[in-house]
Amino acid sequence: TYVIAEPCMDVKDTACVQECPVDCIYEGDRMLYIHPVECIDCGACEPACPVEAIFYADDVPSEWGQFTAINAEYFEPA
């Protein structure tokens, strides 16, 4: 899955949403979240984000590592 990290917070550009072929990027209060099951790993959203908030899960920078869980828990609260 792809993951949205901290740079999206309070930015919410939403350019990523237009690129997603399966509409699996959902808007929350302060940021957007990618549904980890619905995402087909196409990568189309990643270059669309002007603040580079989107990463393939394995490539999320370590300081934002918790965002993989944060995206998943938005859909299925722990």
Q: Does 24 bind ligand F3S (CB under 6 A)?
A: no
Task: Point out which residues pair with 25 in neighbouring strands.
Answer: 34
**Do 49 and 64 contact (CB within 8 A), yes or no?**
no
Nearer to ligand F3S, 16 or 58 (CB): 16
Binding marks (x or -) toward ligand SF4, 18..57, rule CB under 6 A?
A: -xx-x-xx--------x----xxxxxxx------------
List residues bridging with 2 in a β-sheet. 56
Sign of CA dihedral 7, 35, 26, 30: negative
What is the binding site for ligand SF4 (CB under 6 A)? 2, 19-20, 22, 24-25, 34, 39-45
